[in-house]
């Protein structure tokens, strides 16, 4: 969704959830936590879900819910190359985000409410994109995230919350 009062500013949301029944594994079918990105340079097992501001696998189980809210804004439209070198810098943007979610083993019953257990993390990211070679896109994300509530959170000020992700979409 575009923000009407600023050009090229975006508010993005993402909701996800899942459940698994049948064969049970020790840690369940889903794991939440970590500052994962999506791309072709590395792969993660399907059960891992990013929840920025938390340690990898901070919550796990056969059920999960997760949501993300981001405010994205352009910082610099570079749109330049260097002579005939096959490299073309496109842009740098910034994002502020809020992630929330939880993974659990069994559906709650009665007074066993889920919302008080929700893990909430927040942070900032700088993102850049460039054309590498003759048509492939390279992306970089430099960010810092920390947890507000929940087990396994990264405290504000900890260097564990700093991350750099390099990827490509060849």
Residue 45 has pLDDT above 90, yes or no: no
- Cβ-contact 78, 91 below 8 angstroms: yes
Spell out the residues 6+ positions from residue 35 whose beta carbon is closer than 8 angstroms to its own: 50, 52, 143, 145, 163, 165
What is the predicted pLDDT for the residue at 50? 85
Residue 70 has pLDDT above 90, yes or no: yes
Write the DSSP symbol of residue 135. Answer: T
Residue 41 has pLDDT above 90, yes or no: no
- Do β-strands 87-104 and 119-132 pair in parallel, antiparallel, or remain unpaired? antiparallel
In the chain the first and final C-alpha atoms are separated, in Å, by 27
What is the predicted pLDDT for the residue at 13? 95
**Is 160 strand, coil or helix?**
helix
pLDDT, average across residues 43-57? 80
pLDDT band at 4 (very low <50, low <70, confident <90, very high): low
Task: Return the H-helix or E-strand segment holding 38.
Answer: none
Sign, Cα dihedral of 129, 132, 138, 144 = negative
pLDDT, average across residues 68-86? 87
Q: In the numeric block, which tokens belong to residue 156?
A: 């504000």
Other CB atoms closer than 10 Å to residue 101's CB: what's the count?
Answer: 26
pLDDT band at 169 (very low <50, low <70, confident <90, very high): low
pLDDT > 90: percent of the chain: 38
Return mean pLDDT, the chain.
84
What is the predicted pLDDT for the residue at 170? 46
What is the predicted pLDDT for the residue at 113? 74
Distance between CA atoms of residues 125 and 119, nearest Å: 20
pLDDT, average across residues 75-86? 83
- Do β-strands 30-32 and 48-49 pair in parallel, antiparallel, or remain unpaired? parallel
pLDDT tens, position by position, 55-69 = 988 888 888 999 999
- Cβ-contact 86, 121 below 8 angstroms: no
pLDDT tens, position by position, 101-158 = 999 887 777 666 777 789 999 999 999 998 888 778 888 899 999 999 988 999 999 9
């Amino acid at each position: 969704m575009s923000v009407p009062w600023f050009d090229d500013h975006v508010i993005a949301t993402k909701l996800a959830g899942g459940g698994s029944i049948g064969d049970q594994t020790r840690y369940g079918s889903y794991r939440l936590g970590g500052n994962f990105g999506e791309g072709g340079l590395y792969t993660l097992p399907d059960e891992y879900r990013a929840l920025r501001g938390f340690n990898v696998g901070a919550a796990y189980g056969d059920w999960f819910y997760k949501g993300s809210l981001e405010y994205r804004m352009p910082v610099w439209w570079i749109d330049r190359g260097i002579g005939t070198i096959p490299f073309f810098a496109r842009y740098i943007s910034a994002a502020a985000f809020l992630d929330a979610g939880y993974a659990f083993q069994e559906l709650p019953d009665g007074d066993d409410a889920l919302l008080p257990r929700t893990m909430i993390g927040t942070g900032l990211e700088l993102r850049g994109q460039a054309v590498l070679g003759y048509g492939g896109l390279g992306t970089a994300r430099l960010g810092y995230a920390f947890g507000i509530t929940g087990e396994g959170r990264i405290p504000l000020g900890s260097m564990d919350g700093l991350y750099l992700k390099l990827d490509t979409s060849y």
